[in-house]
Amino acid sequence: MIKNKLKEIWGQGKPSINGWLSVGNPFTAEIMAAQGYDSICIDIQHGALDYSDVLPMFQAMRASGITLLARVPWLEPGIIMKALDAGAYGVVCPMVNTAEQAAEFVSYMRYPPLGQRSFGPTRANFSAGTNYAQEANGEMLAFAMVETAEAMENLDAIAATPGLDGIYVGPADLTFSLAQGRLAPAFDREEPEMIEALKKIVAACKKNNIRSALHCGTPEYAVRAIEWGFNMTTVSGDSRLLAAAAADSVTKFKKLVGHLSTQAAETKGAY
């Protein structure tokens, strides 16, 4: 079976950068996968897509050789197993608030005797190479999302869940929940209370020898997160990057056109 490259990167003590897809289109997925990310995650939870989009997006990204992940809509076995069968090498599961839920999630990720995943890797049998049934348990990554006040209360127990590979932090929901709506949901938190929470998550992961990941808005903040001890950072995503690049292009154009108009007016006034 083809090995999970994220595990190899982390095994060398290096951090990884993850891409994020919320546009349901194989071509945009292929473009993103060619940009040098270590992994890319398809967002089935909040993305403008569903499972019928996920499969061709995975197919389009196969040539890149990067590790492919999926964030599922919820803690539900059907979609978790279908994402793995489609070729995902890891699953990010939202709103995991207790150790019991974390254990339930892990059980859906592993074949017996380590879990209760049903066997039927329709595409993974071909995309992941040979011996999938024998080796998949050791290659799939199970990331539980800690993004609520309840999850923070149960952080140590969640992080200690056998078979859990890591915790993925959704800073928008975590901020919304911890601050009880006092702070607006967003990436790249600067509030001391939120930075303290992020560092607490890193410490819990290190204590239990699992990985920590954080969704960031900018490369600069992602580097700070790596300095705090995060193993993986996601920097923005396809829709936000597209919007930012387009807005920057339009702004520059209008500024230059305005400059030309000013020059023309000044030249006309000189005669």
The token pair at 28 is 């945009």
Q: What is the DSSP string of 236-266?
A: --HHHHHHHHHHHHHHHHHHHHHHHHHHHHH
Catalytic residue among 14, 46, 252, 259: 46
Q: Is 167 helix (H, G, I), strand (E, B) or coil?
A: strand
CA 35/CA 169 separation, integer angstroms: 24
215 is a catalytic site residue = no
Residue type at 158 in one-letter notation: I
132 alpha carbon, distance to own chain's centre: 24
b/e for 27-51, b at 16 or more Cβ within 10 A?
ebbbebbeeebbbbbbbbbebebeb
Report angle CA 187, 38, 134 to the nearest 5 degrees: 115
Just list the catalytic residues.
46
